[in-house]
């Protein structure tokens, strides 16, 4: 079973939003604007799904075809992370494009942020870093899709998240660009 299939098994409500023919993201444009390649598991997720909102809590980002450079720009200009970094409140994590910098791929509506730590030339080796709204920082040796599959499959626990995360029967909304 692929990582995406594991996520769909753990979060079956998402499958109604799948785009079987693919979304047609121009990865060359996005990665040129961002200045790096992105993990292959995320590329597969973003080709198959639009932005996903899970239980009115977690929003998983996905670049929109035709707006790839805008998505990349938003990743490079993470003002909250930059402010935390300037206040020395990132536990040693740094914003991208600094070496080993954090690139956002999801956020909660409660102020939590989900990143990759771009600390390897191989994006598939990037771990997930979570900044909880309460100031907790956690790192997981997983890609974004495996991380989400673990969270919603209840094999990955994220410190500092609300007790209701993840929900018992998570509902998913797909947002089109």
Q: What are 107-150's pLDDT values in tens digits?
A: 999 999 999 999 999 999 999 999 998 889 999 999 999 999 99
Q: What is the rounded distance in angstroms from the CA atom of residue 63 to the CA atom of residue 61?
A: 7
- Name residues whose C-beta falls within 8 Å of residue 129's C-beta, 6 or more positions apart in sequence: 93, 102, 114, 115, 116, 117, 137, 138, 139, 140
- Confidence at residue 161, expressed as pLDDT on a 0 to 100 scale: 85
First to last CA, the chain: 29
pLDDT band at 30 (very low <50, low <70, confident <90, very high): very high
Binned at pLDDT 50, 70 and 90, residue 167 comes out as confident
**What is the value of pTM for the model shown?**
0.94
The domains found in the chain, sorted by start residue, are 3-175 (3.40.1580)
Helices first, then strands: H and E counts in the chain: 6, 7
Q: Please count the CA atoms within 13 angstroms of the CA of 67 that sit on its side-chain side.
A: 12
Residue 96, helix vs strand vs coil = coil
Counting residues of the chain whose pLDDT is more than 70, the rounded percentage is 99
Mean pLDDT within 69-85: 91
Reported as a pLDDT band with limits 50, 70 and 90, residue 1 is: low
Residue 93, C-beta contacts closer than 8 angstroms, at least 6 positions apart: 85, 102, 115, 117, 129, 131, 137
Average pLDDT for 67-88: 92
Q: What is residue 3's predicted lDDT score, i.e. its pLDDT? A: 87
Q: Specify the range with the lowest mean pLDDT, choosing from 47-56, 66-75, 78-87, 167-176.
A: 167-176
């Amino acid at each position: 079973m692929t990582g995406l299939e594991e996520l769909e098994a753990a979060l079956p409500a998402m499958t109604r939003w799948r785009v079987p023919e693919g979304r047609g993201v121009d990865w060359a444009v996005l990665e040129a604007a961002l200045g790096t390649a992105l993990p292959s598991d995320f590329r597969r997720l973003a080709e198959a799904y639009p932005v996903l909102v899970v239980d009115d809590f977690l929003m998983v980002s996905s670049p929109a075809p035709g707006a790839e450079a805008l998505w990349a720009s938003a990743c490079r200009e993470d003002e909250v992370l930059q402010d935390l970094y300037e206040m020395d409140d990132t536990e040693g994590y740094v914003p991208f494009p600094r070496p080993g910098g954090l690139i956002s791929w999801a956020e909660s509506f409660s102020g939590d942020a989900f990143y990759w730590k771009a600390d390897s030339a191989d994006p598939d080796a990037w771990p997930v870093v979570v900044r909880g709204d309460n100031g907790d920082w956690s790192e997981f040796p997983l890609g974004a899709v495996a991380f989400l599959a673990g969270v919603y499959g209840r094999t990955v626990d994220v410190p500092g998240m609300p007790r209701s995360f993840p929900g018992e029967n998570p509902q998913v909304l797909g947002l089109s660009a």
